Amino acid sequence: MTAEILTIGDELIIGQVVNTNQAYIAEQLNLINIRVARMTSVGDVMDVILEAFRTAWSAHDVVIVTGGLGPTHDDITKKAVCAFFDSDLVSNDAVRRHIQELWKPRNMPWTPSSEEQTMVPRKAELVENPVGTAAGFLFRDGAKRFIVLPGVPYEMKEMIDRSVIPHLAPLAGGMAIRHRTLRTTGIAESMLAERLGDIDTLLQGGSLAFLPAPTGVRLRITVLDRDPETAEQRVREIEERIRARAEKFIYGIEREELEDVIGRILSERHLTIAVAESCTGGMILHKLTNVSGSSAYVERGVVAYSNRSKTELLGVPDELIRVHGAVSGEVAQAMAAGIRRVAGTDIGLSTTGIAGPTGGTEEKPVGLVWVGYADAAASISVKMQFGGSRGIIKERASQAALELVRRRILSIAVDLP
Amino acid sequence: MTAEILTIGDELIIGQVVNTNQAYIAEQLNLINIRVARMTSVGDVMDVILEAFRTAWSAHDVVIVTGGLGPTHDDITKKAVCAFFDSDLVSNDAVRRHIQELWKPRNMPWTPSSEEQTMVPRKAELVENPVGTAAGFLFRDGAKRFIVLPGVPYEMKEMIDRSVIPHLAPLAGGMAIRHRTLRTTGIAESMLAERLGDIDTLLQGGSLAFLPAPTGVRLRITVLDRDPETAEQRVREIEERIRARAEKFIYGIEREELEDVIGRILSERHLTIAVAESCTGGMILHKLTNVSGSSAYVERGVVAYSNRSKTELLGVPDELIRVHGAVSGEVAQAMAAGIRRVAGTDIGLSTTGIAGPTGGTEEKPVGLVWVGYADAAASISVKMQFGGSRGIIKERASQAALELVRRRILSIAVDLP
């Protein structure tokens, strides 16, 4: 069973917004064994939309369309769908009640655009939108399905999860496909490839993709097999062979972020952490606190940009900053030990560096970052040099600092990055 | 002149990664008047890639392909390009020297995959990759161009900016297209549409797109005209009419983030800020410090998750937390005033709330956030209620807190969110 995902909107075609909907839908379809053959984006132009409908609907079993269902004038997908399936629009009472219900607590007035939102194609089945005003539609032709959803990501996701996937899953069958993603950090793609060695020996019929990002390289294993359990087993075997060669660089699996892994490790060991950030400017704390339940182990954090705040909040001696400079291993170490002491936590973590684009010198260039780590046993600092924009340097430094925590707690040798 | 952007990679088709390349390329082409008609993504499958090449190359003047040029075995785009243009691969000395140059400071060994990276299609012109090892290629047929770039985003961007756009710009001509994006926050899409009133009166032949996101709605004005100056002028007129109706919600233009705008306002007025975050967990500081030069006005910040840290770092009285609870207007106000006092800044900003998904009660549900603001004149707090996931609540609360700063400094009435 194959599918095409068709995303509609001028904002996509002119590059105003990044298309996150495609990836989400593709992933969900893939999990229920529907192979996405193609993903297409077109603008809000009637002829182009209709042509894309024709191409997709003639070639695939499932077509999922998102975008252009909103209340504003530039949204023409509903009209295009009506033209394509030769349907007219009728006002739907269930949709009307739903919108009234949604707006009641917010005291929103009923407007012409609210009225417009109640109109749905007569020939379609409704796909409920529990979190927004734009309803979705479903057309069927035998086992084929043409599904239209709003483009607002969190609305689309709710509808995919609650309605679309449960509807399509029973229709899909055949080969079982199994994936596993191993997330690495602190090693370049080519070095990782060399370390894994001969690829055929490693994979034995499976496949492996290298997915590099500023925070590390993800390795995605894929196995296809008639039998789901065999596919599962072969994925596990490939994973074991990879782990045998690169275990220490693998911090997590699937969608796990390093902060999720650290959260789990800290929780299990009843450890607490406090963070003193300079060049990363709050990003480490932001990442750590993205994890639900992080208030149990993140006692506090400070963003100590100024020298004065390093002294006042963390007790870093003036003298140390004067002699070594704010960007130095000595200061990183003193910041980590300082935040650990004032917060009374098990672990103190710190960063100090030059995120750029200005402020670099010959001796201390943009991208130079010292990470400090303190626990009951010792305080250490590690020097790193990153490339890229301010945002990428902040991201890489944050990831490297978190990886230092993981390695110290798990007693893995530190040779970052 | 029309273009198709073709992105290749299994990771796209199974939804493992979000396709940011498409949007970037589309935006750059659009600026030089090349209209992107379609964007397509396919997996690493030879037949499917070749079919996509044929469709795109027969329909459009410019085809830009990204992805699948890396050193690992799953990258087959180079083979597909050779098959499509009936070319073989030859080792290129310039590419070899470039890779050696790149790897010298990093002490990287020369491996078989390095050798593989020196191979380029004999019939193609080289597109240099100044920041990575995978070279790009260009094929021409009259005025038509077929351009192949690596998929690593920052390499691709460098090559688009330095080589591709300068090459294509002289080939593109015709109608001038001008855009302007106005960024709003604190108002829903439908309310904004009502406020703007009759769309034809507003636009007079131009077009307007509403682009909603958790942090606010962007309004994108587009005007096409033979004469670039007329197009420019008509965009300005539409902008003025929109501003006359919704000025106070507009915080910036184009790619400006609210933190950029606040940075500019603070710098111009020589004001400093310190932030005490609870439920936003460092995200406000992360946003503020994404701005280059922010060390001049961000004196410090604290993430005060625990009650103890609120008391110790900010001097919030125990009593206040006991009587009103940590999530209360009183505590938000005391946090803002406290961080302002200890940091000695002009402005203190704070958040306290329930980011979820756990920790909500009937009286204080998930998504309830109090934002506190203190300056020399007064300290205030504003109550807000957000929906969405933990991440979205953090993001909305951060944006609303920053917007409160903008409105207070510019003396705009506060009626958030």
What pLDDT was estimated at residue A69? 86
Q: How far is A294 from chain B (nearest CA, A)?
A: 9
A14 with B25: Cβ contact below 8 A: no
Q: Verify whether the Cβ–Cβ distance B40 to A42 is below 8 Å.
A: no
Smallest Cβ distance to B286: which of A16, A283, A305? A283
The DSSP result for A38-77, as a single string, is EEEEE-S-HHHHHHHHHHHHHH-SEEEEES--SSSTT--H
Asked if the structure places residue B46 within a domain, the reply is: yes
What's the gap in Å between the CA of A379 and the closest CA on chain B?
A: 22
Residue A72 amino acid letter = T
Query: Is A202 in the same domain as A108?
Result: no
Residue B105: its pLDDT value, please? 64
- Is A20 in Cβ contact with B191 (below 8 Å)? no
Least Cα separation, residue B239 to chain A (angstroms)? 17
- Answer whether residue B39 shows pLDDT above 60: yes
- A386 domain residue, yes or no: yes
Using CA atoms, how far apart are residues B137 and B125, in angstroms rounded to an integer?
6
Residue B381 has pLDDT above 70, yes or no: yes
* pLDDT of res. B174: 59
Best to test chain A binding among B31, B72, B284, B358 (most A CBs inside 10 Å): B72
Mutate to test the interface with A, among B164, B192, B285 (most CBs of A within 10 A): B285
B292/A358 CB distance under 8 A: yes
Shortest CA distance from A32: residue in chain B: B14
Question: Do residue A38 and residue B36 have CB atoms under 8 angstroms apart?
Answer: no
**Does any domain span residue B417?**
no
* A363-380 confidence digits (pLDDT tens): 999 999 999 999 999 999
Q: Look at strands B144-149 and A89-91 and give their pairing.
A: unpaired
Taking the CA atoms of chain A, what radius of gyration do you get in angstroms?
A: 26
Count of pairs with CB atoms under 8 A, one residue in A, one in B:
312
The nearest CA of chain B is from the CA of A38 a distance in Å of 5
Please enumerate in sequence order all residues whose Cβ is within 8 A of that of B387, keeping only pairs 6 or more positions apart, or say none.
A131, B367, B393
List chain A residues with CB under 8 Å of B41. 22, 38-40
Give me the interface pTM, i.e. the ipTM: 0.72
On whether both A205 and A264 belong to a single domain, the answer is no
Contacts of A251 (CB under 8 A, 6+ apart): A183, A184, A185, A216, A258, A261, A403, A406
Mean pLDDT, rounded, for A383-392: 88
Average pLDDT, chain A: 91
> For residue range B341-369, what is the model confidence (pLDDT) as tens digits?
999 999 999 999 999 888 889 899 999 99
Q: Which of A305, A314, A398 to mutate to test the interface with B (most CBs of B within 10 A)?
A: A305
- B25 with A42: Cβ contact below 8 A: no
Beta-ladder partners of A218: A183, A211
Q: Is residue A24 in some structural domain?
A: yes
Q: Which pLDDT score is estimated for A62?
A: 97
CA atoms within a 13 Å half-sphere pointing along the CA-CB vector of B125: 11
**CB B23 to CB A17 under 8 A?**
yes
The percent of residues in chain B predicted with pLDDT above 70, rounded, is 97
pLDDT value for A414: 65
pLDDT digit string, tens, across residues B154-193: 889 889 988 998 899 888 875 677 889 999 999 988 889 9
Q: What is the pLDDT of residue A279?
A: 94
Q: What is the pLDDT of residues B293-331, one digit of tens each?
A: 999 999 999 999 889 999 999 999 999 999 999 999 999
Residues A246 and A263 in one domain: no
Write down which residue in B225, B253, B281 finishes a domain.
B253
Number of domains observed in the structure of chain B:
3
Find chain A residues with C-beta within 8 A of B202's C-beta: none
Q: Which chain A residues touch B212 with a CB distance below 8 Å? A: 70, 152
Higher pLDDT, A108 or B5: B5
Q: Is residue B293 part of a domain?
A: yes
Residue B347 belongs to domain with CATH number: 3.90.950.20
Distance CA B228, CA B379 (A): 49
Minimal CA separation from A317 to chain B, in Å: 17
Domain-embedded: residue B415: no
Pair (A23, A124) in one structural domain: yes
Question: Looking at the structure, do residues B379 and B283 belong to the same domain, yes or no?
Answer: yes
CA distance A27 to chain B (A): 4
Residues B247 and B370 in one domain: no
- Give percent of chain A with pLDDT exceeding 90: 69
Residue B417: the pLDDT is: 42
CATH number of the domain within which B142 lies: 3.40.980.10
Shortest Cα–Cα distance, A201 to chain B (Å): 13
Measured between beta carbons, which residues in chain B are less than 8 angstroms from residue A301? 282, 302-303, 305
Three-state helix/strand/coil letters over chain B: CEEEEEEECHHHHCCCCCEHHHHHHHHHHHHCCCEEEEEEEECCCHHHHHHHHHHHHHHCCEEEEECCCCCCCCCCHHHHHHHHCCCCEEECHHHHHHHHHHHHHHCCCCCHHHHHHCEEECCCEEECCCCCCCCEEEEEECCEEEEEECCCHHHHHHHHHHHHHHHHHHHCCCCEEEEEEEEECCCCHHHHHHHHCCHHHHHCCCEEEEEEECCEEEEEEEEEECCHHHHHHHHHHHHHHHHHHHHHHEEEECCCCHHHHHHHHHHHCCCCEEEEECCCCCHHHHHHHCCCCHHHCEEEEEECCCHHHHHHHHCCCHHHHHHHCCCCHHHHHHHHHHHHHHHCCCEEEEEEECCCCCCCCCCCCCCEEEEEEECCCCEEEEEEECCCCHHHHHHHHHHHHHHHHHHHHCCCCCCCC
Beta-ladder partners of B136: B127
Q: Are residues A230 and A109 in the same domain?
A: no
Q: CA of A306: which chain B residue's CA is closest?
A: B299
CA-based nearest residue in chain A for residue B69: A210
Residue where one domain finishes, among candidates B171, B194, B215? B171
Predicted confidence band at A100 (pLDDT cuts at 50, 70, 90)?
A: confident
Question: Which residues are A7's β-sheet partners?
Answer: A41, A66
Q: How far is CA A71 from the centre of its chain?
A: 29
For A386, phi and psi rounded to 5 degrees? Answer: -115, 155
Residues of chain A neighbouring B16 (CB-CB closer than 8 A): 23, 27, 181, 209, 211, 218, 220
Q: A38 contacts in B (CB within 8 Å)?
A: 40-42, 48, 52
Whether the per-residue pLDDT at B287 is higher than 80: the answer is yes
> In this structure, is residue A37 part of a structural domain?
yes
**CB distance B289–A282 less than 8 Å?**
yes
Tokens of A69: 């269902």
Do residues B288 and B398 share a domain?
yes
* Closest approach of A139 to chain B, Cα-based (Å): 24
Instruction: Please give, rounded to a whole number of angstroms, the shortest distance from the CA of B282 to a CA of chain A.
Output: 4
Looking at per-residue pLDDT, the higher value among B199 and A353 belongs to: A353
Diameter of chain B measured on Cα atoms: 79
B128 lies in the same domain as B235: no
Q: Which of A30, A38, A293 sits opposite B15 (nearest CB)?
A: A30
Task: Find the length of chain B.
Answer: 417
Comparing alpha-carbon positions, the chain B residue that sits nearest to A302 is: B302
Q: Do A30 and B48 touch (CB under 8 A)?
A: no
Question: Mutate which of A309, A389, A393 to test chain B, going by most B C-beta atoms within 10 A?
Answer: A309
Residue pLDDT, tens place only, A176-233? 778 899 999 999 888 899 999 998 899 998 888 888 888 999 998 988 787 889 999 9
Residues A319 and A367 in one domain: yes
The pLDDT tens digits for B216-238 are 999 989 888 878 899 999 999 99
CATH code, A190 = 3.30.70.2860
Report the pLDDT value the prediction gives residue B415, as an integer from 0 to 100: 58
Q: A115 and A68 in one domain?
A: yes
Please check whether residue A417 lies inside any domain of the structure.
no
Is the predicted pLDDT of residue A21 greater than 60, yes or no?
A: yes
Chain B CB contacts of A312 below 8 Å: 342
- Do A277 and A323 share a domain, yes or no? yes
Are A352 and A277 contacting, i.e. CB atoms less than 8 angstroms apart? no
Q: How far is A299 from chain B (nearest CA, A)?
A: 6
> Which residue of A5, A11, A14 to mutate against B (max B Cβ within 10 Å)?
A14
For B84, the domain range is 2-171
